Structure 1
Amino acid sequence: MTNTPLPITSADIDAAARVIAPYAARTPLLRSPALDALTGAKVFLKPEVLQRTGSFKFRGAFNKISSIPEGERGRGVVAFSSGNHAQGVAAAAQILGMKATIVMPSDAPASKVERTRGYGAEVVLYDRDKEDREAIARDIAGKSGATVVPPYDDPFVMAGQGTVGREIAEDMAALGIVPDIMSAQASGGGLIGGIATAVKARFPETAIIVAEPAGFDDHGLSLRAGKRVAHSNTGRTICDALMALTPGEITFAVNQRLLSGAVTATDDEVGKAMAFAFRDLKLVVEPGGAVALAALMQGRFDARGKTVVIVLSGGNVDADLYARIINA
């Protein structure tokens, strides 16, 4: 297995960086003395909440849609998402003058649905407990000829998302600092897999740790089992963006090879991380974007005395929910 070529390479991520450069924001690395004092670590934060559409998802969506041949673009694209990928696809399609249809759960945050429509996409709602979003998207694509843009299990999507890691590696190298640990949250695993590919190319000794909501730890289960395993949770988490049942097939091929471990954080711990980001970082971070920060703050991995990079992957959260969380 160790000799099997991975689905994406650092060269693919370099190519994606050139494609998205005119359109995506290059987000900075931020520091927080309060967070350093709390954790005993030297912490750098990558705020993808400042990215176009409010999350890292724009990167992968734009790279994927840009790869569609000109002759096929007139048929549009279709995607399935709880919100962040939906907005990324809708915005990318709008920029490229293409029609977008997005299949979204009926319980998705209203702000995410509204913003997706705001980018000009048609939204098709479904019941996540009773209907199969991928089947709905395939049916739409079959009838219209549209190209399906997966949220994570696609090399172009992963490479685009991997530009987050490329920027981290470049900026840390410019500072002359080698990160000991890099952590980001995962749903299907495209972001963490892309980041791992880019960071390991520059810093092979850096430990890459995936963070998940407690009870929705399919990556942790799969890494321990050595194969893709589904979590058994049938409930809900405030981290609505991180409720995939199993890791992606393509993403797990990368993550099984490159990740060093997995950690979790509870909804309450995620809320505390969001409140910290609001008070001390002056950043709005959605629940699904704050899990790695929560895990760091709770000491779920050994960070004391080490240099750690944490990705804040998104900031799209309904105002009412956000207010309740940070006021709690």
Structure 2
Amino acid sequence: MFIPTISDMFEAHQRIEPHIHRTPVLTSAYINSLVGAQLYFKCENFQKAGAFKARGASNAVFGLSDEQARKGVATHSSGNHGTCLSYAAGRRGIPCTVVMPRTAPQAKKDAVRGYGGTVVECEPSTTSREAVFAEVVAQSGAEFVHPYNDARVIAGQATCSRELLEQVDDLDAIIAPIGGGGMVSGTCLTVSNLAPRVKVYAAEPEQADDAYRSLKAGHIIADDAPDTVADGLKVPLKDLTWHFVKSNVADILTASEVEIVDAMKLIWKRMKIVMEPSSAVPLATILKNRDLFAGQRIGVVITGGNVDLDKLPWQ
């Protein structure tokens, strides 16, 4: 298992800079008053391809040798990683194949195809996803870029918190959603090296709380097919992301489906930000744990904005 270092993060940032946005940090006085803390929202919903995963995908794609790149790249993804890998592959001019659950939002399937990627559908379970993907790679010989359990991807995701630390002084904590743990691992990598005083929290749906249970148990617990409105957070931890989670995460906080949707609506209404349900989980957990964060300066990662506007969760 190759564990990325802080040097890998700095190299990744230099490599991907021409291909990503330095996303803004926004605030809301109203939401601050609700939670009794100062929240700084790192808006990766404004990132290239609409999600933070453009960082890790771009680092993986542009780090390939010409010989590796010739056969293209492939991955399995519920949406955002596949979209972002298609984006990065398109920038480099190489093919990209994405195995996606048939139940993934149509908007995310359309986005993959829009960036030139090929979608291969599977059943909505980790078992089916990995089996179908194995067939794709066997046929194409494409370079596998895992959505999160990949040192290149984690080093790319780590650039997000580097920017946040540069944009906001004296943070007490950073909180991000957790599914497979790529963003949280990248955050741990950066924060543990550049700002070790800052705590890292992860936020997870109650109905897909395998990371929460893993942290409590001290070993990975993987659910095969959890059901939650936060469709980007259904995948389990793997060995590389588990390394960072068990070593550096202060706690994993959970929120109910209703709490997630309410937080999503609150940000849409008050901040006029289009975000997907997965991105609302951190705010949902902050609202639920006001005492934990009271009086603090908290960085909140809004991970993506690729939501199906015809199927909003409150409609």
Give your verdict on TM over 0.5: yes
State the Cα distance separating 1:10 from its structure 2 match.
1.5
State the Cα distance separating 1:65 from its structure 2 match.
1.2
Distance 1:54 1:146, change over 3 A: same
Which residue pairs with 2:122 in the alignment?
126
- Of all paired residues, the percent bearing the same amino acid is 34
1:64-86 deviation digits (Å, cap 9, x = unpaired): 11122101212111110010001
- Asked if 1:313 is matched to 2:306, the reply is no
1:160 to 137, 156, 159: 156
* 8 Å Cα contact 1:207/1:259 also seen in 2: yes
What is the RMSD computed on CA atoms of the aligned residues? Answer: 1.7
State the secondary structure of the residue aligned to 1:308. Answer: strand
- Amino acid corresponding to residue 275 of structure 2 in structure 1: V
State the secondary structure of the residue aligned to 1:123. Answer: strand
- Amino acid corresponding to residue 4 of structure 2 in structure 1: I
State the secondary structure of the residue aligned to 1:182. Answer: strand
Which residue pairs with 2:213 in the alignment?
221
Whole-Å separation in 1 of the counterparts to 2:47 and 2:275: 12
1:243 to 223, 226, 234: 234
Whole-Å separation in 2 of the counterparts to 1:48 and 1:243: 19
Whole-Å separation in 1 of the counterparts to 2:145 and 2:18: 21
State the Cα distance separating 1:163 from its structure 2 match.
0.7
2:112 to 77, 95, 116: 116
> Number of paired residues?
315
State the Cα distance separating 1:202 from its structure 2 match.
2.0
* 8 Å Cα contact 2:36/2:290 also seen in 1: no
- Asked if 1:196 is matched to 2:196, the reply is no
1:138 to 124, 134, 153: 134
- Amino acid corresponding to residue 74 of structure 2 in structure 1: V
Ranges in structure 2 where 5+ consecutive residues have no aligned partner:
none
Kindly report which structure 2 residues correspond to 1:147-296, keeping only aligned pairs within 5 A, or say none: 147-172=143-168, 177-231=169-223, 234-244=225-235, 246-296=236-286
Superposition misfits of 4+ residues, deviation over 4 angstroms: none
Distance 1:162 1:41, change over 3 A: same
- Asked if 1:57 is matched to 2:17, the reply is no
State the secondary structure of the residue aligned to 1:215. Answer: helix
1:32-72 deviation digits (Å, cap 9, x = unpaired): 10111001101111011000111101110110111221012
- Amino acid corresponding to residue 98 of structure 2 in structure 1: I
State the Cα distance separating 1:179 from its structure 2 match.
1.2
* 8 Å Cα contact 1:137/1:148 also seen in 2: no
1:304 to 287, 290, 294: 294
User: Bigger shift: 150-159 or 268-277?
Assistant: 268-277
State the Cα distance separating 1:94 from its structure 2 match.
0.4
Whole-Å separation in 1 of the counterparts to 2:4 and 2:290: 29
1:217-261 deviation digits (Å, cap 9, x = unpaired): 1211111111112248x55111111001x3111011111111100
TM-score normalized with structure 2 length: 0.96
Ranges in structure 1 where 5+ consecutive residues have no aligned partner:
none
Distance 1:279 1:225, change over 3 A: same
